[in-house]
């Protein structure tokens, strides 16, 4: 009998201690704003963050938001340089001076002096993709003025050069023609004059 009473007393003490601990935990959670309500808030924040999180998009998607316009004589600065190698070559540089990307399609249409037909285009210079210029970037085109020996037919000296950009369909020009200054005294050219397609680098534009 004494043992039974001792076990009963111990059980009562454990139950009382458990109830006290649970009560204290409940009061603490209410007083500090933690506990179950904290878990609910954390879950809500996590759900909101996941729902509205921003996943970085591919660069091509970001560029789509800023649709490129055709490069023209109005949104570029066009210059020409006579280069030592290859011989009888000019390098045309077109720099995007606008605020939006521009596409340099096909090859430049070149008109020397008052020529009625533009210079031919070298078919072996087609780039892998249309050259798109961000503001401040440049495209390049090489111009072979004559045969390497300089003895081609129809040789003459040209003093003026007009550069016209191709349209998106690449079947005509777009925008105003850019009047370009040629080296002092003009340049010697003949009937074989031809230009490359627009390229990303001067090196690619000057490969004969």
Rounded Cα gap, residues 153 and 57, in angstroms:
55
What pLDDT, in 10s, does the model give residues 155-185? 889 999 999 999 998 889 999 999 998 988 8
Instruction: Say how many residues make up the chain.
Output: 208
Our measurement of the distance from residue 176's CA atom to the centroid of its chain's CA atoms, rounded to an integer in Å, reads 25
Choice between 29 and 172, residue whose per-residue pLDDT is larger: 172
Res 59 pLDDT > 70 = no
Please report the pLDDT score of residue 91 as a whole number: 97
**Could you tell me the pTM of the whole model?**
0.67
Rounded Cα gap, residues 137 and 200, in angstroms:
9
Tokens of 69: 């316009």
Q: Name the residue with tokens 């105003």.
A: 176
Looking at residues 36-57, what average pLDDT do you find? 33
Give the pLDDT band of residue 6 (cuts 50, 70, 90).
very low
Q: How far apart are the first and last CA of the chain?
A: 115
Average confidence score pLDDT of the chain: 75
- Minimal CA–CA distance to 77: which of 91, 98, 104, 103? 98
What pLDDT, in 10s, does the model give residues 95-154? 999 999 999 999 999 999 988 777 888 888 898 899 999 999 999 999 999 887 666 677
């Amino acid at each position: 009998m004494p043992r039974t009473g001792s076990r009963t007393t111990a059980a009562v003490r454990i139950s009382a201690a458990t109830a006290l601990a649970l009560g204290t935990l409940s009061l603490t959670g209410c007083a500090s704003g933690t506990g179950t309500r904290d878990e609910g808030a954390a879950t809500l924040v996590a759900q909101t963050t996941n729902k509205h999180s921003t996943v970085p998009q591919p660069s091509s998607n970001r560029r789509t938001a800023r649709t490129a316009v055709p490069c023209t004589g109005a949104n570029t600065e066009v210059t020409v340089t006579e280069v030592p190698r290859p011989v009888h070559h000019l390098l045309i540089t077109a720099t995007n001076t606008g605020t939006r990307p521009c596409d340099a399609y096909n090859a430049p249409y070149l008109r020397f002096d008052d020529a009625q037909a533009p210079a031919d285009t070298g078919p072996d210079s087609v780039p892998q993709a249309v050259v798109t210029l961000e503001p401040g970037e440049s495209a390049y085109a090489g111009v072979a003025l004559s045969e390497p020996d300089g003895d081609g037919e129809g040789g003459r000296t040209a003093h003026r050069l007009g550069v016209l950009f191709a349209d998106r369909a690449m079947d005509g020009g777009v925008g105003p023609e850019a009047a370009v200054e040629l080296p002092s005294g003009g340049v010697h050219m003949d009937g074989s004059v031809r230009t490359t397609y627009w390229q990303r680098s001067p090196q690619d534009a000057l490969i004969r």
